[in-house]
């Protein structure tokens, strides 16, 4: 099963509704901390769920379902703390609120042409002199990301979050995972710092990515310009991924380097100035997008060891560190001249395609 999400900012709600959301988050956080304290002090047992009858009212919340929801969240926090072997009591600073279908309804209002949906959330307080929950109706607008999932199944779960004084609602979608495509083209991909993607077919994509990293490194962290630069990088990665699959419509197998520890392993080996830039490198975000796209399309994405891929000649197999000269690879043994990133991507393809010792790779010669 494939699961995806779309995020919607709650900026279309009036001030009264936003105030209600403010109170909800403040109260939820306070109640959550109280239950965490009680479990920590063993005033409440640590279980997955607890009957509302066994749960005291906290932070003026008397609604039984909300108490159970907050207790479950508190118990998960304590369990995570125990698993990490932390000895100090957890302090709740930020919260996200997960709600199932008991806490909200999705509605369409016939007279509304401005909004696509309204979500009615049942608050943890009761209407005056009634046993019914107070509610708020929040207007939602669809966007390009969410419209991608119009044919997917919408899960009966939402998540409310807060970031930079803005509130967001997350919808969750799912659909069956397709079978892997059995026949098609295989390519190797080298994910670099200066050029985001080099393929074994000689294509270079995202050649301006280093300029984007430099822009980010010059911005004050968490400033408006910094956030805009980070968003620019995200859009650039998305464009490269989309362009890649447009250029290679017949793929069934992609091989890429497994670079998950490259930043950790680079400490002390690279000058401090470059290490500062390396923190903005897009490998993780690029791989995440590739994994999602390949999963949805039924394409096998294989990760292989990156060892010596940039030092090995893709034609004769000679390993010589001095053969790489910046963006050019010139083999000291056979004389092959080729773009260095393209050379690496061919080696990556060979590692994913020719696993048998009896198989001999077909070397691809891209003369400069």
Q: What is the pLDDT of residue 131?
A: 76
pLDDT grade, residue 267 (50/70/90)? very low
CATH architecture of structural domain 185-207+240-266+281-353: 2-Layer Sandwich (3.30)
Q: Give the model's confidence band at 147: pLDDT under 50 very low, under 70 low, under 90 confident, else very high.
A: confident
Helix axes 15-40, 64-83, angle to 10 degrees: 50
Measured distance CA(205)–CA(330) in Å, rounded: 22
Q: What is the pTM of this model?
A: 0.75
Q: What percent of the chain has pLDDT over 70?
A: 89
| Nearest of 201, 302, 280, 216 to residue 248 by alpha carbon | 201
Q: Give the pLDDT of residue 87.
A: 86
Q: What is the pLDDT of residue 222?
A: 81
With pLDDT > 90 as the criterion, what percentage of the chain qualifies? 58
Averaged pLDDT score across all residues of the chain:
86
**Residue-level pLDDT at 270:** 47
CB-based contact 277:217 (threshold 8 Å): yes
Cβ contact 120:135 at 8 Å:
yes
Of 223 and 69, the structure prediction assigns the larger pLDDT to: 69
pLDDT at 272: 54
pLDDT of residue 261: 61
With residue 293 as reference, give the H or E element that holds it.
helix 283-297
CB 160 within 8 A of CB 5: no
**Where does residue 144 rank: exposed (0-12), middle (13-18), buried (19+ CB within 10 A)?**
exposed
> Residue written as tokens 């609120």?
97
Per-residue pLDDT of 276-313, as tens digits, reads 556 667 788 899 999 999 999 999 999 998 889 999 99
pLDDT of residue 1 exceeding 90? no
How confident is the model at residue 314, as a pLDDT?
92
Cα(192)–Cα(209) distance, integer angstroms: 9
Query: How far apart are the C-alpha atoms of 239 and 280, rounded to whole Å?
Result: 17
Task: Indicate where the chain has its CATH 3.30.420 domain(s).
Answer: 185-207+240-266+281-353
Beta strands in the chain (DSSP E): 2-9, 97-100, 104-107, 117-126, 133-140, 153-163, 166-175, 185-190, 197-199, 204-205, 251-257, 300-304, 324-325, 328-330, 337-339
pLDDT for residue 361 is more than 50: no
| Residue 364 scores a pLDDT above 70 | no
255 compared with 282, residue with greater pLDDT: 255
Q: Which residues contact 211 (CB under 8 A, 6 or more apart)?
A: none
Q: How distant, in Å, are the alpha carbons of 178, 365, 368 from that of 256?
A: 21, 20, 23
- Of 59-63, 140-144, 268-272, least confident by mean pLDDT is 268-272
- Distance between CA 191 and CA 286 in Å, rounded? 8
Note the pLDDT tens digit of each residue in 81-121: 999 988 899 999 889 999 999 999 987 765 666 677 889 99
> Which is more confidently placed, 262 or 59?
59
pLDDT at 170 over 60: yes
* Residue 133 backbone dihedrals phi, psi, to 5 degrees: -70, 145
Burial of 320 (0-12, 13-18, 19+ CB in 10 A): middle
Rounded CA gap, 209 and 340, in Å?
A: 17
Of 242 and 145, the structure prediction assigns the larger pLDDT to: 242
């Amino acid at each position: 099963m494939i699961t995806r999400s779309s995020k919607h900012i709650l900026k279309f709600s009036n001030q009264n509704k936003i105030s209600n959301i403010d109170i909800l988050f403040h109260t939820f956080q306070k109640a959550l901390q109280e239950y965490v304290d009680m479990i920590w002090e063993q005033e409440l047992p640590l279980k997955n769920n607890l009957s509302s009858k066994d749960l005291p009212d906290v932070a003026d919340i008397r609604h039984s379902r909300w108490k159970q929801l907050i207790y479950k969240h508190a118990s998960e926090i304590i369990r995570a703390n125990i698993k990490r072997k932390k000895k100090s009591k957890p302090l709740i600073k930020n919260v996200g609120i997960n709600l199932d279908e008991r806490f909200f309804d999705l509605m369409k209002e016939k007279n509304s042409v401005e909004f696509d949906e309204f979500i009615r959330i049942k608050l943890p307080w009761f209407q005056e002199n009634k046993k019914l929950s107070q509610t708020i109706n929040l207007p939602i607008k669809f966007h390009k990301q969410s419209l991608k999932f119009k044919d997917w199944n919408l899960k009966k779960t939402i998540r409310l979050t807060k970031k930079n004084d803005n509130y967001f609602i997350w919808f969750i979608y799912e659909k069956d995972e397709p079978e892997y495509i059995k026949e098609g083209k295989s390519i190797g991909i080298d994910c670099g710092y200066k050029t985001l993607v080099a393929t074994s077919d000689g294509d270079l994509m995202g050649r301006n990515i280093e300029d984007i990293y430099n822009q980010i490194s010059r911005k004050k962290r968490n400033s408006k310009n910094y956030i805009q630069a980070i968003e620019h990088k995200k859009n650039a990665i998305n464009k490269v991924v989309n362009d890649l699959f447009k250029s290679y419509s017949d793929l069934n197998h992609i091989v890429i380097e497994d670079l998950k520890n490259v930043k950790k392993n680079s400490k002390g080996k690279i000058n401090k100035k470059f290490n500062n830039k390396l923190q903005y490198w897009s490998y993780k975000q690029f791989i995440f997008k590739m994994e999602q796209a390949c999963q949805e399309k039924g394409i096998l994405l294989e990760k292989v060891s990156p060892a010596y891929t940039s030092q090995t000649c893709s034609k004769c197999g000679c390993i010589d560190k001095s053969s790489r000269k910046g963006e050019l690879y010139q083999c000291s043994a056979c004389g092959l001249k080729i773009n260095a990133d393209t050379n690496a991507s061919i080696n990556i393809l060979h590692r994913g395609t020719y696993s048998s010792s009896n198989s001999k790779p077909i070397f691809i010669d891209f003369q400069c």
